[in-house]
Amino acid sequence: MLAGNKLKDGRRKKMGVWIKREQCIGCGECVQICPGDLLYLDQEEKVSIRSSRECWQCMACVKCCLFEALSPKLPYSSADYGGTLCPYQGQKKINWVSKNKGGRVEKYFPTKQFG
């Protein structure tokens, strides 16, 4: 049902998160964690988001996905298309990588104690 929203790079355009279906293995971790009960596995056992406007941007789903099938997406009304932010979650620490519209990459190591 989302076919019309599929972008050339395989991502599906929905507010809240970008979903790369081919990278989703249907483990359901994100479905378990979403505080808004917004994610579900569809008939093909791939993650899908219920509501286009109810995501809080807490990124719990993005952080728990080991397969990088989810990436955060801000509402277009307040943020340009093109930038990305990706977490790399460890047992005790978390690192992040951002890329701006021009492709400039920046890495962050916010967990001071274990950094």
Partner 1 sequence: MGPERVHFEAEVVIIGGGTAGCLAAVTIKEQAPTARVIIMEKADIRRSGCLAAGVNVIKAYLHPGETPESFLKDIRHEARGLVREDLVLSAAKRLNKVVEKVERWGLSILKNANGAYLPHGRWGIKVDGEKLKPLLAEKVKEKEVKVLNRVAATNYLLSKEGRVIGVAGIGVRDACFYIIKASTILCTTGGCAGLYRSRNPVDGHHQIWYSPFNTGSGYAMGIRAGAEMTSFEMRFIALTIKDVASSISILTRDCGAYLLNSYGQQYLTSKNDTVSDLPFPSCLSLFAYLQELKEGRGPCFLETRQLTDKQVRELKESYLNENPATVLYWVTNGVEPEKKPVEISSTEPYIVGGHGQAGYWIDQERRTTIGGVYACGDVAGGYPSKYIGGSWAEAIIAGETIVDQLTSVVGDHELMAGIFLEEQRVFAPLERYRRGLTGIEPWEMEERLQKIMEEYAGGISCRYELSEPRLLRAKEDLSQLNDQVSYLLAKNSHQLMKAHEVLDLLDVAKVTVEHLLYRRETRWPGFQTRVDYPERCDLHWRKFINSRRNHNGAIEMIERPYHQLI
Binding residues (CB under 8 A) for partner 1: these are: 15, 32-37, 50, 52-60, 72, 74-85, 87, 92, 94, 96, 98-101, 106, 108-114
> Nearer to partner 1 by C-beta: 25 or 33?
33
d(CA 55, CA 48): 13
Taking the alpha carbons of 61, 62, 64, 65 in that order, is the dihedral positive or negative?
Answer: positive
Residue 71 one-letter amino acid: S
Distance in Å, CB of 5 to partner 1, minimum: 13
| Coil, helix or strand at residue 62 | helix
> Nearer to partner 1 by C-beta: 5 or 22?
5
